Amino acid sequence: MKSIQLQNIKKAYDETEVIRGIDVTIEAGEFFALVGPSGCGKSTMLRMIAGLESITSGTLRIDGVAANELKPSERQLSMVFQNYALYPHMTVEKNITFGLHTKGLTKLEQRERCLEAAETLGLTDYLKRKPRELSGGQRQRVALARAIVTESPICLMDEPLSNLDAKLRAKMRSEIRQLQRKLKLTMIYVTHDQVEAMTMADRMMLLNDGQVQQVGQPLDLYNKPANTFVASFIGSPPMNLTPVQRSDKGWVASDGRLFHPNTLTREDTATLGIRPEQITPAKDEITFYAELKNIEVLGTETILAFDMGGVEWLAKWPGQWPLSIGEKIACYVDPKQMSLFDTDGNRIEPRQPKLFEALEVFQ
């Protein structure tokens, strides 16, 4: 296992800067996800780590050793691409072992590694087939097998599941995660799918326009988004956001609905954020009423759409709810689950109980 350190890494093409000073350490044996929208720079970052793109400035270290000038073959890593990159005229076995001869392995050693990887990934029965005779999931397994036979301590993956259907993606997510744990690989996984990042990663980095928005464990980004971009990108459906104004009674949306988030700030205007699953059917206490614009009954849950201060919000209720469009429903949100963001879009931390008690004493 090897660690990777990125120290103020920047990448520019002529006058255009696409990676803007990234500092992060990826621990040995960690599953680290790079996630963000298309064009945010995550694949460029991966290619710089692999040595396929030059680094404009900053230092890349692999296990503490500067690696900026190392050739890709000298970095002790393997890579899995989005399009599998299999040779169509070669059998599965030859695709898996391709390149091993450069490591000085005998044909017997290559065969042994191939059989071991094939057994791990369920490819034993397909070794004599050509890629065109395989399904998408099987081709992806071949690409994975080719990566693990090198026994490199670092594995880079660039959106490897984007060409698969939803059911197969879910299955392959589990297989890749189990494989990473079994082989104790340091894995860097690029994806635009926040569900993949949330379900697979030990830690994740969210990028936007070449800048780091937040780094942390998946639930850190989900529960405590650093800004409104993180809040709107992470979560399915994402966090509901609407502008609010301070009043004597609390924070008011443009339609007059009142909220009491557990937050202390001197800001007069802010953005209120509440996740759809945190909006629950009201029992005794009511936070607001919502007039339903759309209803999606998905079997295990029901998605409700309504207007909040001129912005469409969603609520996600477990189970099947026999509601009608135009119906008004009573909703409750725990103030501790409400988030506030300042005028720059940055998270305002909730007040601490001890601090709040001290302020009460001095009032």
H or E element that contains 292: strand 288-297
154-158 vs 57-62, strand pairing mode: unpaired
Tokens 């397909």: give the residue: 126
- 33 to each of 30, 187, 193, 231, how far by Cα in Å? 10, 8, 10, 17
Q: What is the pLDDT of residue 362?
A: 44
| Domain 238-362 CATH superfamily | Nucleic acid-binding proteins (2.40.50.140)
Start-end of CATH 3.40.50.300 domains in the chain: 4-223
Q: Which residues 6+ apart lie within 8 Å of 45 measured at CB? A: 6, 9, 11, 19, 22, 34, 190, 207
* Closest-CA residue to 92 (of 52, 124, 62): 124
Tokens 């081709």: give the residue: 139
Q: By the 8 A CB rule, do 236 and 197 touch?
A: no
Q: What is the pLDDT of residue 354?
A: 55
Q: Which residues 6+ apart lie within 8 Å of 288 measured at CB? A: 257, 258, 259, 308, 331
Its pTM surpasses 0.75: yes
Start-end of CATH 2.40.50.140 domains in the chain: 238-362
Tokens 């996740």: give the residue: 275
Tell me the per-residue pLDDT of 148-200, one tens digit each, with 9 for 90 and over.
899 899 999 999 888 888 888 888 899 899 989 998 999 999 999 999 999 99
Separation of alpha carbons 306 and 41, rounded Å: 35
Residues of the chain with pLDDT under 50: 355-363
Percent of the chain at pLDDT > 70 equals 97
* Closest-CA residue to 273 (of 319, 323, 321, 238): 238
Q: Which amino acid, residue 11?
A: K
The tokens for 88 are 């169509």
Fold adopted by 4-223: Rossmann fold (3.40.50)
**In angstroms, how far is the first alpha carbon of the chain from the final one?**
56
Q: What is the pLDDT of residue 353?
A: 58
